[in-house]
Amino acid sequence: MTGSKLAWWYAYLSLFTIVAEAVLSGLYIDNGVDQTVIHHSMTRHERMVVEHEILELLGLGERPRRSRTPPLDRSAPSFLLDVYKQLAEEHEQARPTRSSEMALSGEEQHAIDESDLIMTFQSKRHHLGALRHGHGRHVWFEVAGTPGDASSLLTAELRLHQSATHNEEDPTSLYTVVAHRVISVDNVGSLQMEQVAAVNTSAGAEGWLELNVTKALATWLSSPADNRGFFVTLHPHSQPERHVKPEVIGLEEPRGVSSEGKQPFLVAFFKSGPKLGSTDPGARRKREAKRNHGYSENYLRNPLTDTAHWTTRSCEIQTLYVSFKDLEWQDWIIAPDGYGAFYCSGECNFPLNAHKNATNHAIVQTLVHLLNPTTVPKPSCAPIKLSPISVLYYTDDSNVILRKYKNMVVKSCGCH
C-alpha cells in the first residue's frame, strides 16, 4: 500500500474512533503507556460531517431509514445472517465445518465467494397480490433502488419453502415447480407470462427450492417499471398440461401465518460494477467542501502518525476498535456491533531486524538515510497484510444487504 493510500486509511480509521464515546464525542488515542487519552472533542457540525464520511466509505449516500424493526427470523434476513456467520468463521479457518441452516448449494457457495454484495428481497404485497390464474400463485419483490445494476449481477435465485404435508399424496410422486415472469395483465385478469425457471421435487420433500431467475431480475434492474413479479405454478412431472395448487406439496404462502421464517424471498449476488457503491458527484463535492470547514488545526492533525504524543517505539500493530453501536446505528446495522481495525505505528530505525518485517528496499533506504538524513527519509511503518470484513444491514423495512469491504483490518505491520 502506498504512503498516500495508507495516510488516507489512517484518516478514515481516525474518523471512526471519533464517536467511540457516547457522552463525549471525540477522538481517543493510546498514549503509549497503556492509557487512553482524548485528542479532540467534536462539535455537532464535525460529528455530522464525520458520519457522512463513514457512510461514503461504506458505499452509502445516506443513512438507511426504517419505520419499524423487522424480526430477524424472517426468511430474507435469516438467510444472510447465516451467510454472514459463515464468512466470519472463514476468517478463522479455511472452511466452516457446520452446515448451513439454509442448505447452501455448490453454486450458491461459489456465488458467495465471488460476490462483493449480496442482497435479499422479502416478498411484499402488490396490486396483483390477490390475482389467481388457474392454480398458480403471485409473488412480488421490490427491487427498485438496488445498489447494483444488471451488468454487476452475477446470479439471482427465487427461494420457495416446501413444508411437510399430511395429505394422501404419494410422497414419491414427482412434481415440477415453474416460475414465470409476469409481462402484462389485461383488463379481465389474463396474464402474459414468460417461463424463467423450473425445478423438480417430490410430494414428500421438505426444505428450500431454488430457482435461477437471473434473467428476470436483470430485466427489472434495467427497467423497474416492468417488474410485475413472478407467477409460480405446479404440475405433475409427467403431466405438464395439468396444473395443481401449490399447497398440494406444501409450498408456503408468501404471507401465511404458518410460514413465519419460511416466506418466499429473492437473493441476488453482485460483483463490483460501475454503479456499485458510487455516489452522486455533486453530493461528493459538497461533502469535500465541508470536510475542512470548521475544523481546528489540532483536529486536522493525524494523531496516529504524530509520535509527539507518546514515547518512541518500534514499528508494531496497535489496537483500534470501530464501534457501530456507539455510532447509534444499531437500528439498521444487523452485524457486527463493531470490529477490531488495528493500525500500525512506531519507528523504523537502524538496524531493521527481522521482526520488523522490513522489505529489502526499506533496509537500503535506512542505510541511505544514515548517510543523508536530510535528503532521504526513514522508511514508514505500514500494514503489510490486511483482511476484509462483512457488514450486514437493512436498506429499508424488509430488504437486507451483506457487503464485503476489502482491506479493513490490519493483520501485521512492517517497515516500507
Residue ranges of the chain assigned to CATH 2.60.120.970 = 103-270
The tens-digit pLDDT sequence of the chain (416 residues) is 444 444 444 444 444 443 333 334 444 455 555 555 544 556 777 767 777 877 887 777 777 776 666 667 678 888 898 899 988 887 664 444 444 556 677 788 889 889 999 999 988 877 664 455 567 888 999 888 788 777 889 999 999 999 877 666 777 889 999 999 999 877 666 778 899 999 999 988 889 999 999 999 999 999 988 999 999 999 998 898 888 888 888 887 766 545 567 889 999 999 875 445 444 445 555 545 554 554 444 444 444 445 444 446 888 898 888 777 777 787 788 888 888 889 998 888 888 766 678 888 888 888 888 888 888 998 989 999 998 889 998 886 668 899 998 888 999 998 88
Region 3-61+279-393+405-415: CATH code: 2.10.90.10
Residue ranges of the chain assigned to CATH 2.10.90.10 = 3-61+279-393+405-415
User: What does the pLDDT read at residue 259?
Assistant: 57
40, amino acid identity: H
CB atoms within 10 A of CB 231: 25
First to last CA, the chain: 9
> From CA 126, how far away is CA 130, in angstroms rounded?
8
User: Helix 106-114 and helix 75-90: axis angle, to 10°?
Assistant: 70
CB atoms within 10 A of CB 374: 6
CATH architecture of the region 103-270: Sandwich (2.60)
* Interval 149-182: pLDDT, tens: 778 899 999 999 998 776 667 778 899 999 999 9
* Interval 347-376: pLDDT, tens: 888 887 666 788 888 888 888 888 888 889
C-alpha cell at 139: 409473488
Q: Report yes or no: 228 and 128 within 8 Å, Cβ to Cβ.
A: yes
User: Helix 3-18 and helix 44-57: axis angle, to 10°?
Assistant: 130
* Interval 212-226: pLDDT, tens: 999 999 999 999 889
